[in-house]
Chain A
Amino acid sequence: MAVVNVKDLVVKYGTSIAVDHISFSAEPGEVVGLLGPNGAGKTTTIETLEGYKKPTSGLVEILGLNPITDKTKLMPKIGVMLQQGGLYPRMKVRQALHLFASYYKNPLDPDKLLQKVGLEQASGNIWRKLSGGEKQRLSLALALIGRPSVAFLDEPTAGVDPNGRLTIRQIIRELKEEGVCILLTTHELEEAERLSNRIIIIDKGHIIASGTPAELMTSGQGEEILFGAPSGLDTVSLSKELSAPVEEQRPGEYKVHSSASPQTIAALTSWLAKNNLPLADLRAGRETLEDVFLRLTTETNPTENTTSDRNNK
């Protein structure tokens, strides 16, 4: 049974449409990643589910409850991690956890949770003085302290160091095991790919693709081989060698429109060897999620997205 249910959701700010007829649902134990460029409508969608924003039209239900009219019933059952901030500037880490624990009937043990998110060292520090990564760890802990059935995590690993990311990802996996339904937004493609059962790609308020990471990555346009090598290769000569069209998509990144048969791969590598060229990477058959993302968001918005998304990565 779906615990998150969104049907035909539309959210407008004045005349501009932030979310335009989005529908999806999520089950217990499922991690759904909302992915999209900045301003795509991810945060608006999630904040509507959290009861901060009123849908202009459409249906939003969490655990069968309306986030606005059933707020008092719903709040004890959800956990929220906002994109930024969310605490008293002068409050100490341990104090914050104990305070939030007091809001819930059956909270987790604040001290154990502190250990789990790796904040024991910082437990006496005040919020204002925490690093970006420590703030994220604390926000995650505060989202989980009430044992939520549904957790909304808005960019949970933004600004977190690699170690912290591992911790946060591990915690998300454990929640999934325990049957918590998790909605997370990110523009970290790798993260969405690693954590999510299902990915929903949003751009300009629309869902432009959705599915499991595997489904999305094999939904590319036919078969192809992607490889990285020095820029400016003689693609014409290579095309002849492989009897398949070759194009340089971005400087140093090439696409061969051919099935990834062992023969073709062998021909490609021997051509490189003959010309004494190094091979940076080689991928066959599957697109990475990044390829899917860039292809889809660039199709709808050819000028802006490519550069900004690459910078966000």
Chain B
Amino acid sequence: MKAFLAQTKTEISLILNGESILLAVGIPIILLVGLSIFHLFPISFVVPGIISLALMSTAMTNLAILTSFERSYGFLKRLGATPLGRPSLLGAKTLSVVVVEIIQIIVIMAIGIALGWNPHIDPISAILATLLSIIAFTGLGFLLAGTMSQYLVLSIANGLYVILALLSDMVFPIKSLPSLFRNILSFLPSTALANAFHDSLSYGRSVPSSIWLILIVWAIILPFLAAKTFKWE
């Protein structure tokens, strides 16, 4: 237990460090402040969207990049010969994602409220959406990290982050897009997460069961694929 907690602490310090902290906190805050100051979209849309963006960046992009570099530097291999062991390492990484996400949610909500956001929070739905997204996106993060070279992961994880950020109702409302395109995008885990947050944090609506279904399916498929394909070395 001591080892697991020390490992989690280390993982958190690695996420909140250098380029990772920019992705975890810097970019979301810049977008949040920028989008609200210029009144591009209603703040009730912006805050939940930015929270989902921040969660995605931690669970997918940061996790994938850190883990893939650790894999290529032989750290994952080395840990296989310590009492901590590799399954506990992945557990510690996942717990570190949870802790960092809680920090992100608190910071972004606080800034949102300062900028005039008026929350209508359904805590159960919001927590459930957060948990499902952690499972789905850490699954995606490990899927990338465990199968590709670190440089490929670096570009794919960042590229995917930008594409999903733009097309998932996170920073930019997709309701102006053609309906066919919009329907396809609604199947993305990122879109489902953003919409679940819009409903459960801002609009005071219940989250439609179709969104839960999409999140649950991704939360099963992605970790399953990661577990099947992950290579330690």
- A-to-B contact residues, CB < 8 Å: 50-52, 71-72, 75-76, 78, 80, 82, 84-91, 95, 98-100, 102-104, 127-128, 142, 146
A87–B73 contact, CB under 8 A? yes
Knowing that A80-B78, A88-B10 touch, tell me 7 more A-B residue pairs with CB under 8 angstroms. A78-B81, A88-B75, A95-B10, A102-B6, A103-B3, A104-B83, A127-B73
Alpha-carbon distance A209/B232, docked complex (angstroms): 34
Q: Would you mind naming 7 contact pairs between A and B with Cβ atoms under 8 Å apart?
A: A51-B81, A75-B82, A75-B83, A86-B77, A91-B14, A102-B3, A104-B83
A90 touching B81 in the complex, CB below 8 Å, given contacts A85-B74, A99-B6:
no
Alpha-carbon distance A75/B165, docked complex (angstroms): 43
CB-nearest residue of chain A relative to B6?
Answer: A102
A88 touching B73 in the complex, CB below 8 Å, given contacts A99-B7, A102-B6:
yes
> Counting CB contacts under 8 A, is B122 at the interface?
no
Alpha-carbon distance A288/B84, docked complex (angstroms): 43
Max chain B C-beta neighbours (<10 A), residue from A71, A103, A128: A103
Q: Which of A86, A90, A99 contacts B74 (CB 8 A)?
A: A86
Alpha-carbon distance A142/B78, docked complex (angstroms): 10
Alpha-carbon distance A95/B7, docked complex (angstroms): 11
- B-to-A contact residues, CB < 8 Å: 2-3, 6-7, 10, 14, 17-18, 69-70, 73-75, 77-78, 80-85
Contacts of B85 in A (CB 8 A): 71-72, 75
B83–A72 contact, CB under 8 A? yes
A103–B83 contact, CB under 8 A? yes
Contacts of A87 in B (CB 8 A): 73-75, 78
Contacts of A85 in B (CB 8 A): 73-75, 77-78
Shortest A85–chain B CB gap in Å is 3
Q: Which of A51, A89, A103 contacts B69 (CB 8 A)?
A: A89
Contacts of B17 in A (CB 8 A): 90
Alpha-carbon distance A80/B85, docked complex (angstroms): 13
Contacts of B84 in A (CB 8 A): 103
